[in-house]
Structure 1
Amino acid sequence: MTEEDAAPIDAPSTPGFEDLGITGAVLKAIKDLGYETPSPIQAATIPTLLAGRDVVGMAQTGTGKTAAFALPVLERLDVSQKIPQALVLAPTRELALQVCEAFESYASRMKGVHVLPVYGGQGYGVQLSALRRGVHVIVGTPGRIMDHLAKGTLDLSELKYLVLDEADEMLKMGFAEDVEQILAQTPTEKQVALFSATMPPTIRRLAQQYLRDPEEITIKSKTATNKNITQRYLIVSYAQKVDALTRILEVENFDGMIVFVRTKNETETLAEKLRARGYSAAAINGDVPQVQRERSVNQLKAAKLDILVATDVAARGLDVERISHVVNFDIPTDTESYVHRIGRTGRAGRTGDAISFITPRERYLLKHIERATRQEPTQMQLPTTDDVNSTRLARFDDAITAALGEASRIEAFRDIIAHYVRNHDVPESDVAAALAVVAQGDDPLLLDPNNDALSRAVDFDNRPQRERSGGRDNREPREPRAERRGKGDYAPYRIEVGRRHRVEPRQIVGALANEGGLGRDDFGAINIRPDFSIVELPSNLDPAVLEKLRDTRVSGRLIEIKPDRGPRGGGGRRDGGDRFERRDRDDRPRRDRDDRPRHDRDERSPRDGAEQPFRKPRHKK
């Protein structure tokens, strides 16, 4: 929740957090964050959890559930015991990181509290080191939690609190079996809180089996947003976000802008990438000193800065008239955060634009946003190369027109140009073109419409999921084997998971891509047999990659990958498998869709071939 959503402090009928039982360092921390009045889910849930009773919470995303379970956990945490006392299961990596960040914020006034996010795609080493040092709260996705339990690297024997966040989404994504196995490996005497936006029979059965006489709490969200704000969204995978944002910045007519990301580190990373592309951008986050934050905000107000890259906390209370656009680079799963973010524009009767980047697996959040804001966001299309080129040519024209207005400087250069034309016998038009080349530098002025990999990738992300995941009904015709060989030589590998384990090609691809760092072009045919599957991978696969993949799990089973020896070695026919259709890693399968691509290969620096925006030629005075 935010200050803007809180009820007036002097409302006598509304209890404060101290009235709910929150005390000491935890109370000080939430006051620091600007929390004054509990949201309905917090007011109803916190006293029940502090009393030690299990809870089933029915509430939409964005009603303040995280604080509802995090504050009671921190209030009763035994910091002296450096063993996992609380486990929060979340369906996606993004939500796990967001919950983890919330725990850290609420524990900012406590000494020695350690919170660890555990998710696939991140190296085991970081997680193992943290577990050895001692962790109080673990926030993780079911798949990676299962892996740690199987390896014996995670001890839940002393667990006191277990939270299932977005339980319905977890089950929709195929984590039902993993969740039940995790629950079965926790102590009988523990407190369980289950939060879900809906209550399908599977959730009801889960609650009846694993919760003890829970209190059921139902809250309906009443969030709405400013009608002056135009809401749009773009379906784009994580790997294409920076380039997609660059295109939008080139074509969109914006004044000042805030770009929201999820973590402090990402504010610095994205701001640096935008500066490398020629934009005046700065990062603000909770670690930025107040003096520097105020300087950046004042620069934005004075038009000396165009873009602020910010986290939710850093942008709280920010009101700059010049902000015409808000971009959700990372879409929040909390709709209250979404409303707070886009409320930075369209203030005091002004109009504003909000653009949200939605990865293919985050489409479900659109319904949450629509319900919370009572507006249906409009899907936008990525600007084409023609759109970008038209904008660049117009700006180039403007730059020439502006230069022609400096009569005294133009006069001085006329004699120099005339001298060159006389001595080199070159037409003046060619000299003008050469000067334009000098001014533009090494980056081409116009994009090549025939080499638009970004548009192709975004178009793919917007295709129906069945097409992107290799479904039989909608996928493109399978390429002839000979043609596929031309794109890269493949070798067959056998994995010990098949049709009877209810595995699909997209699950296999996601798991291998996440754990082995494989790309889209590293997969050939996938042939799923009853008890095993054959996957074509590069014939020159690095042994180190193969070693990483040995501990990979699909549908909760170790895949035990090894080179396939053909029929004699137990392999099946490989001439008619389910062809994996090229797609981005952000469209993750059920088991591993919580894993985000690694940053070190997500983005390209300008020198690596990323699109460069038009830069107005600079004239030295």
Structure 2
Amino acid sequence: MSEPASPVSFADLGLPDILLKSLKQVGYEAPSPIQAATIPALLQGKDMLGQAQTGTGKTAAFALPILANLTPGAKKPAALVLCPTRELAIQVAEAFQTYARGIDKFHVLPLYGGQDMRGQLRQLQRGVDVVVGTPGRLQDHLNRKSLDLSALRTVVLDEADEMLRMGFIDDVENILSHAPDEAQTVLFSATLPERIKKIAGKFLNKPEHVKIAASSSTVDAIDQQYWLLNNNQKLDALTRLLDVTEFDGVIIFTRTRGTTVELAEKISARGYACSPINGDMSQSNREQTISRLKKGKIDILVATDVAARGLDVDRITLVVNYDIPYDSEAYIHRIGRTGRAGREGKAVLFITKREQRLLRAIEKSTGKKIAPVRLPSAKEISEQRVERFKQEVKATLAEPASPLLAAVAEQLCEETGATPQLLAVSLIAMLQKDQPLEVAEAPLQRQAPALSDSARAPMAEYKSKNDSRSKNRNESKSKNESKRKPADKPVGSSKTEGAAESDNEGGPLTMETYRIEVGRQHDANAGNIVGAIANELDIDSQYIGRIELNDDHSTVDLPEGMPPELLEAFGKIRVKSRPLAASLVGKSNESHKPKSQNRADKSAKKPGKTKRATGKKFSTGKADKPARKPAKPKE
């Protein structure tokens, strides 16, 4: 077990030049601890058991060695990465594509539920080098025999404990059993419950064990907030933040060196004194920039993590994480640049919908919840700009007036016939330039959807189960299930049944049963339903209870008191191209169904149009109309 210090650069890890060039283009400056500890061993083909939290840079840790040892253009995949959610699968696939930008004929394919199966089949037939997928969809392809794992050289199991918690571990074991015995196997997990240890013992051959401890310290004096945005909203959001926030000095953190220069130019164009600082700058230039910040010649610094190491400037009152860091410790170091010398500080984190998992990892690491905040309104921005302008004018009025300027003002009034007040209004309009005092009420581009605090409350009040309780629950469940006839076992219950048990510190979790409009005849399974609800609504899978599949619909147990806005969101979620449209069993809940579903329900109530289930298919027609005789076959 080891945790070495990070080397100076990625070149020290033994990566080929083509990958080093890609990393430089992306702007990555130095490897994280998990990357430094694992990449050399993975390049040698060793199996790996890595313990690290989400957000520590695990993706590059396994992706870079895979790419370094890859011969692209093969018909069958050479590497397989298993991920618990489709968001993570997409992120990992995008990371592979980014790192492999200089590799010709490289193809990576994400496989996850909710995506058109036909498109996935076509791409698999063409040939891919790396497959990144969720257990349910990978199992579907194995059942179809459309995914051939016989040529695998590397298998990666990312966030194994998360898959165990979500109930996918049986699928994971089955998928791993299809890989060649000689394939390199890599397993990453934040914790090592007993089931994960057994999998490691079964599938890993003399693995290297690397553990990266996450820091749990944070600065209590810092007011931490996050804004949920789309990527194309960040610059506008940053402008609004600077407009409404009183600050002395600001540091804005980005992931790459290129972004520091580009963003600093855009901020300067908006009238702020701003400079970039990054690893491409010489040490003397960095020192000069920091000196200017200390002396108040600039107010805003746009920096990378490496360039800001050891930065100690007392006047920093605001830190903006323009890009969320992959490493929780990097976040702690970033926000530690403010709130110094006993002063209060503020830290704002910009995140996209896909990055909410990184936010939760940071909260877990720091032991402190980060509060969501809304974007300031146009009215608030206008008020702040007007107040700042008035202060500047008052400060100018306090200084002695130049006789020449006074003469020019009198001449303008005489030549134009304008009153002094009208002249002042014209001069104010000239001074606004690119930053008008009055901001239009046009909304900031469509904001990424987020559940309100009230929608999250039913979930938040139940604490996560620790490993020992989960183990006891699973053992108890196994005993009960062994007494049950196989035919009586409801589909999906093995994944979520334990969520309703009373091993939470907050007391038993009361569940209610909801009907959703997808079932067996739509080719749906419990994994599709769990994945859709957990991923789309960001509901922790431990709060998704028993799932029973019927022909035309299914039922799912959810915590009692689900807020209406959360139920309405079910109508926007699709499984097998059908909206779920959740309704509480035993209650009329049509308001939570999509309009098309309501119309279908109404038409079904008309006389002679009643739908009735006949096996796995529906037939409609009048009750007194005899069934049509089958046509005689032609000779």
Q: TM-score range by the shorter chain?
A: 0.5 to 0.7
**SS of match in other structure, 1:192:** strand
1:561-576 aligned at under 5 Å gives the runs 576=590
Residue identity matched to 1:391: Q
Match of 1:417 among 413, 421, 430: 413
- Matches of 1:243 and 1:461 in 2, distance apart? 22
1:450-599 aligned at under 5 Å gives the runs 461-465=452-456, 497=522, 501=526, 507=532, 530-531=550-551, 558-559=576-577, 576=590, 578-579=592-593
Q: CA deviation at 1:328?
A: 1.8
**SS of match in other structure, 1:464:** helix
Residues 1:458 and 1:503: Cα distance change in structure 2 (over 3 Å)? closer
For the pair shown, the structure with the greater C-alpha radius of gyration is 2
Residues 1:504 and 1:453: Cα distance change in structure 2 (over 3 Å)? farther
1:220-231 aligned at under 5 Å gives the runs 221=213, 223=215, 227=219, 230=222
Q: CA deviation at 1:415?
A: 3.4
1:189-268 aligned at under 5 Å gives the runs 189-200=182-193, 203=196, 211-212=203-204, 215=207, 217=209, 219=211, 221=213, 223=215, 227=219, 230=222, 232-238=224-230, 241-262=234-255
| Residue of structure 2 equivalent to 1:542 | none
- Contact 2:382–2:438 under 8 Å retained in 1: yes
Structure 1 residue 160 corresponds to structure 2 residue 185 = no
- Matches of 1:4 and 1:216 in 2, distance apart? 13
Residue identity matched to 2:322: F
- Contact 2:5–2:36 under 8 Å retained in 1: no
- Matches of 2:552 and 2:128 in 1, distance apart? 38
Residue identity matched to 1:247: R
Residue by residue over 1:158-209, the C-alpha shift from the partner in whole angstroms, topping out at 9 and shown as x without a partner, is 221111222334565787688578657654542222211134576567657x
Q: CA deviation at 1:234?
A: 1.6
Residue identity matched to 1:559: S
Residues 1:179 and 1:439: Cα distance change in structure 2 (over 3 Å)? farther
Q: CA deviation at 1:31?
A: 13
**SS of match in other structure, 2:187:** strand
- Contact 2:92–2:132 under 8 Å retained in 1: yes
**SS of match in other structure, 1:223:** coil
Structure 1 residue 327 corresponds to structure 2 residue 327 = no
- Matches of 1:554 and 1:176 in 2, distance apart? 24
Residue identity matched to 1:576: E
How many residues are paired up?
Answer: 493
- Contact 2:37–2:210 under 8 Å retained in 1: no
Match of 2:391 among 398, 406, 411: 398
Residue identity matched to 1:388: I
Q: CA deviation at 1:292?
A: 10
Residue identity matched to 2:368: E
Residues 1:384 and 1:499: Cα distance change in structure 2 (over 3 Å)? same
Q: CA deviation at 1:221?
A: 1.0
**SS of match in other structure, 1:245:** helix
Specify which structure has the bigger relative contact order, considering alpha-carbon pairs within 8 angstroms and separated by 6 or more residues.
Answer: 1
Q: CA deviation at 1:355?
A: 2.3
- Matches of 2:239 and 2:351 in 1, distance apart? 16
Residue identity matched to 2:577: I
Q: CA deviation at 1:412?
A: 1.2
- Matches of 1:293 and 1:130 in 2, distance apart? 49
| Residue of structure 1 equivalent to 2:540 | none
- Contact 1:95–1:333 under 8 Å retained in 2: no
- Contact 2:52–2:214 under 8 Å retained in 1: no
Residues 1:264 and 1:159: Cα distance change in structure 2 (over 3 Å)? farther
TM-score between both structures, scaled by the size of structure 2:
0.54
Cα RMSD (Å): 6.5
- Contact 1:118–1:138 under 8 Å retained in 2: yes
Structure 1 residue 357 corresponds to structure 2 residue 356 = no
Residue identity matched to 2:532: Q
| Residue of structure 1 equivalent to 2:512 | none
Q: CA deviation at 1:396?
A: 1.6
Residues 1:7 and 1:200: Cα distance change in structure 2 (over 3 Å)? same
**SS of match in other structure, 2:362:** helix
- Matches of 1:84 and 1:28 in 2, distance apart? 24
Q: CA deviation at 1:343?
A: 5.6
Structure 1 residue 376 corresponds to structure 2 residue 368 = yes
Residue by residue over 1:325-372, the C-alpha shift from the partner in whole angstroms, topping out at 9 and shown as x without a partner, is 432233234224434544666789998653223456755545643564
Q: CA deviation at 1:576?
A: 1.4
- Contact 1:107–1:113 under 8 Å retained in 2: no
TM-score between both structures, scaled by the size of structure 1:
0.55
Residue identity matched to 2:81: V
**SS of match in other structure, 1:394:** helix
Residue identity matched to 2:381: V
Residue by residue over 1:584-613, the C-alpha shift from the partner in whole angstroms, topping out at 9 and shown as x without a partner, is xxxxxxxxxxxxxxxxxxxxxxxxxxxxxx
How many percent identity over aligned positions? 37
**SS of match in other structure, 2:80:** strand
- Matches of 1:305 and 1:122 in 2, distance apart? 49
Residues 1:412 and 1:184: Cα distance change in structure 2 (over 3 Å)? farther
Q: CA deviation at 1:58?
A: 3.3
Unaligned runs of 5+ in 1: 10-15, 474-491, 513-527, 535-551, 562-573, 582-621
Residues 1:263 and 1:101: Cα distance change in structure 2 (over 3 Å)? farther
Q: CA deviation at 1:60?
A: 2.8
- Contact 1:505–1:578 under 8 Å retained in 2: no
**SS of match in other structure, 2:590:** coil
- Contact 1:167–1:194 under 8 Å retained in 2: yes
**SS of match in other structure, 1:159:** coil
| Residue of structure 2 equivalent to 1:586 | none
